Chain A
Amino acid sequence: MMKRFLQYVALMGYLIFLGFPLVWMLSTSLKPPPELVKLHPTLVPDAPTLMNYVQAFSEQQLDRAAFNSLKVALGSAVLTVIVALPASYALARFKTRVGTAALGWVLLSQLFPFVLLIIPIFLVLREVGLANTHAGLVLIYVVWALPFALWMLQGFVRNIPRELEEAAAVDGATRLQVLWRVVFPLLAPGVVATALFAFISAWNEFFFALVLIKNPDLATLPVTLARFVGIEGTARLGPLAAGSLLATIPSLLFFAFMQRRLSSGSLAGAVKG
């Protein structure tokens, strides 16, 4: 079968293009300094070591940056869910012009480059004393994640049959009881997915963190990693690769968790750096 053969050749090409850079980073992260400066580096390290991972934490203050990122990402995730939950219920159950406008804004806001946003945001945050703080960054990330979070959560609400709520109401439950006892428990998977999405977009974000956080002690992981780029000698590539791989682990877990949804394309607009 000539056709099948060619298809496998093409697939092979894709696997190499997509996979080799990843393998290379993994390999670099496992190489001791002498191997990094070798004239002809090898794909498989001669003497693999975990030294770079230890060093990434001890010398590059990546532990502090990781802690900062964790704090900001957790804050964004929790706050996004709290803010988005009531609105997504309203959007799913009632048709309002405000709701339509809000969803329209989601699409429209994609058009605008961040420069237009960042300068006024920077000025506003400075006026209220939140520039250069994690709280300010969390606020921005919540607003940034909110449009997609709303869109995602209201989809989950729609999937809960209205009849369930009506039945509970007939049985004498109040509005709040209906929400608390019927809707929220069923919404749990949606809440988890939304929180994870907000967590990851905050964890990966670079531009706002670069501009808004000036104090190096408060810098998040992407900004700290980027700072080591360029000043690295060849021997420092190992810890840099190790730190970068560690920084990817949360998103990898997220994608593994969401894999089935992602491959069905329903969340395809979800994560964009």
Chain B
Amino acid sequence: MRRSDRTGVYLLLLPSLIPILALSVFPLLRGMYLGFTDARAGRNVEVNFTGFANYQELLKDELFWGSFRIGLLWAFGVTVLQFLLALGLALLLNQPLRFRGLARVLALVPWAMPPVVVGILWRLVYHPDAGLLNEALHRVGAEGLRSNWLGDFATALPAVIIVGVWAGMPQTTVVLLAGLQGVPKELHEAAATDGASAWQRFRNVTLPGIAPVIVAITSLDFIWNFNSFGLVYVLTQGGPGGKTMLPMLFAYEEAFRYGNYGYAAALGNVMVLIIVALLAIYLRRRLREAK
């Protein structure tokens, strides 16, 4: 590249780079740093570097442990169910079935909805008096199963996990379907002529064919789920009794209800650590299997 070209290229990149640096890279670094300080809300508050004090406090904080347990249950639960259901749906959509078009359209709608609307939608379904679920149970004669799904200690977390699955399944389905359509038909035909059963073909042709797609989408799903906020905020606000207090909700409360910026940022740092550690384990295992 000529020198004048190079200057031109940087000039073209500049309008994008400045905002990314100023409002993404820099805040992120500052946010990570805040996790090692006692920063609090309010103007002209002195900020002191406190090293690992926040983390020592976190270790003793029962609410923190509770929220991370719930966060992991939520993230794993949603990601695994999302994947299994999406794989099933993608396999079906890859077959010449009737109503396939309808299913395709329906599978896109939850994806198109703002998370807040998804939350409201499922509050209507779970509503103790006017809800679809309780009414359906009544109609099939299972009156005893009626419940205040989002308000009950035992059912709140499973109930929000189902909503998470519903909201995220479409995207996963679309990605897996694209993966399935990329598996060469000839491989299937060859395996079939060799007398492989449907299950064997799935196991030995389909799954290896879409393995990279599976790894990519489950990793992304896990990150998105672990960091998700709006959906559960609208559904339960973390209640009842903190039973659905995801880490993001916990951090939000710490930062913007109690004004503990430093502590909330420390929580954010721990979340990043956990995600990176889990992803590293997962990706290493997948890589080893691929070899």
- Specify whether A and B are partners: yes
Residues of A within 8 A of B (CB): 4, 7-8, 10-11, 14-15, 17-22, 24-25, 28, 36-38, 40-41, 43, 82-84, 86-87, 89-91, 94, 96, 98-99, 102, 105, 109-121, 124, 139-140, 142-143, 146-147, 150, 203-204, 206-207, 210-211, 221-223, 225-226, 229-230, 234, 237, 240-241, 244-245, 247-248, 251-252, 254-255, 259, 262-266, 268-269, 271-273
Q: Are B108 and A120 in contact (CB under 8 A)?
A: no
Tell whether, in the assembled complex, residue B92 and residue A112 are in contact, meaning their CB atoms are under 8 Å apart: no
With A14-B103, A114-B248 known to touch, is A90 a contact of B130 (CB < 8 Å)? no
Given contacts A211-B252, A241-B120, 16 further A-B contacts (CB under 8 A): A7-B92, A14-B89, A84-B16, A89-B12, A112-B268, A113-B268, A114-B229, A115-B31, A115-B267, A117-B24, A124-B23, A143-B20, A234-B127, A252-B112, A265-B178, A273-B230
Residue of A nearest to B33 (CB): A120
The residue in A11, A245, A262 that gathers the most chain B C-beta atoms within 10 A of its C-beta is A11
Q: B271: nearest residue on chain A (CB-CB)?
A: A113
A247 and B124: CB pair below 8 A? no
A10 cross-chain contacts in B, Cβ below 8 A: 88, 92
CA distance A203 to B123 in the complex (A): 21
Q: Which of B94-102, B152-160, B186-194, B200-208 participates in binding chain A? A: B94-102
Closest 10 CB pairs of A and B: A265-B178, A116-B31, A120-B27, A87-B16, A204-B114, A90-B12, A273-B115, A116-B268, A86-B12, A222-B116
B107→A273 contact, CB < 8 A: no
A-B contact pairs, 25 of them (CB 8 A): A4-B97, A10-B92, A11-B97, A18-B170, A21-B166, A24-B124, A37-B129, A87-B14, A110-B223, A113-B248, A115-B267, A116-B28, A119-B261, A121-B27, A146-B16, A204-B116, A210-B233, A221-B114, A225-B120, A229-B120, A229-B123, A247-B114, A247-B117, A268-B174, A272-B171
- Give A234 Cβ to nearest chain B Cβ, in Å: 5
